[in-house]
Amino acid sequence: MSNSLRSIIDSHIHVGRFRETYFPPKKIAAFLIRQGVKRCVVSATSAACGLHDEAERDLREMAEITELQTAPLLWVTQDLLRRYTNLTQPLKALPYCGIKIHPYGNPWTNSGLREVLRIADDCGLPILAHTGGNEMSDAGRWLRLLEGHRFPVVLAHGRPLDQTLRVLGSHDCAYTDTAFMPIPDVRKLIAAGHSRRIIFGSDTPIDRCYRSGPPGRRYRKRVESIVRAAASHEELLFEKNSLEVFF
């Protein structure tokens, strides 16, 4: 690993319930610390199925771990948006550093997404948005939605890549992350001149539901592969870009 890579900020972490599995915050934090992660951006998957109180509890527990600096994201569903005007009450519950939305797992109308974008701009918060899976969650959906938006929107996974490239080329506020992203796609994004808008994210521990083998070894290999793909840009991917958006 390059000596210029001073620390890892993992900007795509989850805790809580995912399908039949519960991922405890303390165990996820301990895993990240063992991998050399100094800071992480975390959201709670329990909120995707409406368990917002449980999600808040898990994020609070994660934030209490002093060895790891965490930036919590409020997972917003369209139902939560209907219940709380401007998201004022849920945003007050914790020192949230951004908003997470998942248009594949939680259906969204364009008007609902525009309202979340407005709130994010008003509050000065970045958004981490899942991309990929169907046309309602593909990156290209954001091409028009981001017109006039000011604060960062991270297109998690960058799927499909051609659409992600168009959005990055059209909007200065758009970023993407490396979660589940094929290494050739990372290289293509860098070759297209977007190294300053790629953020390192692992999607830990969701990768364990799709990949076999020891997760620690897989994490370290993934970091090494991205460092090689990034060449002289690895410090941007692992530190500077994440600091700019979330910290």
Domain covering 8-246 in this structure, CATH number: 3.20.20.140
- What ranges do the domains of the chain cover? 8-246
For 174, half-sphere exposure in the C-beta direction (CA atoms, 13 angstrom radius) is 26
Q: Tell me the chain's radius of gyration from C-alpha atoms.
A: 17
Read off the pLDDT of residues 92-124 as tens digits, 9 standing for 90 and up.
Answer: 999 999 999 999 999 999 999 999 999 999 999
pTM of the model: 0.96
Per DSSP, 152 falls in state -
| Residue 3: per-residue pLDDT | 41
Summarised one tens digit per residue, pLDDT across range 48-81 is 999 999 999 999 999 999 999 999 999 999 999 9
* Cβ partners under 8 Å of residue 73, min gap 6: 41, 42, 43, 96, 97, 98, 99, 100, 128
Strands laid side by side in the 37-44 sheet:
21-23, 8-18, 37-44, 69-75, 98-101, 127-130, 153-156, 174-177, 198-199
What 3-state class would DSSP assign to 214? coil
